[in-house]
Amino acid sequence: DVKVTQSSRYLVKRTGEKVFLECVQDMDHENMFWYRQDPGLGLRLIYFSYDVKMKEKGDIPEGYSVSREKKERFSLILESASTNQTSMYLCASCKMTGKSSGNTIYFGEGSWLTVV
């Protein structure tokens, strides 16, 4: 069974703290993604990666960075957390099959981050 695991389900952090959200997938997928989901705004793409050490900005990268040192692991980093980063964060992965095929995206269960 395919699995995307997010290490923390619920976190509470203080403003200004550095926050790491970790994600691991066991499907040998090339592509990995970080989304955030907010009421009324839906899912928005923060960053994605298509290979180890490769990263691309999504729609809302400001205030975030990412790290992909191993194929199975993709980390989201909030360098200095702010209250407007309180949200649900979703990690996802899929195979890289090129433009000729639509790919199923597999999501983790989400990490609820509250910044106080």
Partner 1 sequence: SQKIEQNSEALNIQEGKTATLTCNYTNYSPAYLQWYRQDPGRGPVFLLLIRENEKEKRKERLKVTFDTTLKQSLFHITASQPADSATYLCALDEASGYSTLTFGKGTMLLVSP
CA distances to 8, 78, 96 from 111, in Å: 6, 13, 25
Residues in 17-76 at the binding interface with partner 1, rule: CB under 8 A: 31, 33, 35, 40-43, 45, 48, 50, 56, 58
Task: Give least dist CB 60 to partner 1, A.
Answer: 12
Distance of closest approach, residue 37 Cβ to partner 1, in angstroms: 9
- Chain residues that interact with partner 1, rule: CB under 8 A: 4, 31, 33, 35, 40-43, 45, 48, 50, 56, 58, 90, 92, 94, 96, 98-100, 102-110, 112
